[in-house]
Amino acid sequence: MVGNMDTYMMGTLRVHRIGFGAMQLPGRGVMGPPRDHDEAIAVLRRAVELGVDHIDTAEYYGIGVSNGLIREALHPYPENLVIVSKVGAFRDDKGGWLPGQRPDQLRSGVEDNLRTLGVDQLGAVNLRLTDHPQAGEERVALEDQLAEMVALRDEGKIAGIGISTADRAQVQQAIDQAGIVCVQNAFSLVDQSDADVLDLCHDRGIAYVPYFPLGSAFPNTPKVTDNAAVRAVADRIGATSAQVGLAWLLAHRDNILLIPGTSSVAHLEQNMAVGGVSLSPADIAELEAGVQS
């Protein structure tokens, strides 16, 4: 295992706080086969060797590609491996992202994940919310979506329910109605706009799994690795800027779980080494002052 990775509960399942996100394994635009199939398989196997016991995926990552690679690389799965997926969207033949939030679509999404991963139960499934229903379709009430997720949990197909891209009111509703075990929202040193949701999760003992942990992937938006304070701290402690940004998240709240993704073994090992990056109180103060200036 690389670094000193502590753990946190995701419902009834305990996982290391540094996991792996599989979104970057498929080809360009998260579609089609990986650029290097053998490297993708090696990344997954090396991740488990380094202590990863939490893998985040989705059937619509490449339309079965991500799940297929996970199965090829790791099945039969280690007993302690927690595979988390998500539903609420699907892809068209051109790679477009479409909402799929009707109860029947959520159910088929879970069942597709079970089939392609070759498992009887998923550790958790995140309900990914969207504000954009398909043309000609009415918006599906969150209450109805959560009810279907609860039914899937009651049937034993998922161990826990999560929610993604949700505001505080939606997260609170999901806590009250479905007893969620995790939340996936955007959060980073340079974008702390979701702090109220993070605090709610922390208070309720719910795992918080940030996407865009180094800032938005979209052009012309703040990036953690471009921040002057991050670079200064990284130079001083002998780490990369990305490692500093991820280490800040681990230090910020103990319920934050990281799922950095990559299609490179070398980059994976850099990410996993974050468990050994120690930020002093002075480092943290410098970083937080640097994003406020």
Give the residue-averaged pLDDT of 135-139. 68
Instruction: Give residue 209's pLDDT.
Output: 98
* 197-210 pLDDT, tens digit each: 999 999 999 999 99
- pLDDT score recorded for residue 270: 96
Average confidence score pLDDT of the chain: 94
Homologous superfamily assigned to 7-218+253-276: NADP-dependent oxidoreductase domain (3.20.20.100)
Q: Is 9 exposed, middle or buried (0-12, 13-18, 19+ CB in 10 A)?
A: middle
Check 61, 77, 208, 211 and give the catalytic one. 61
- Lowest-pLDDT choice from 7-16, 149-158, 203-212, 214-223: 214-223
Preceding amide of 76 cis, omega within 30: yes
Structure tokens at 113: 């994940």
pTM of the model: 0.95
Residue whose pair of structure tokens reads 């230090």 in the numeric block = 251
For 82-134, what is each residue's pLDDT tens digit?
999 999 999 988 888 899 999 999 999 999 999 999 999 999 999 999 876 55
For residue range 243-285, list pLDDT tens digits in order. 999 999 999 999 999 999 999 999 999 999 999 999 999 999 9
The reply to whether 61 belongs to the active site is yes
Q: Are 59 and 88 in contact (CB under 8 A)?
A: no
User: Rounded distance, CA 25 to CA 31, Å?
Assistant: 9
pLDDT band at residue 1 under the 50/70/90 scheme: very low
The full set of domain ranges for the chain reads 7-218+253-276
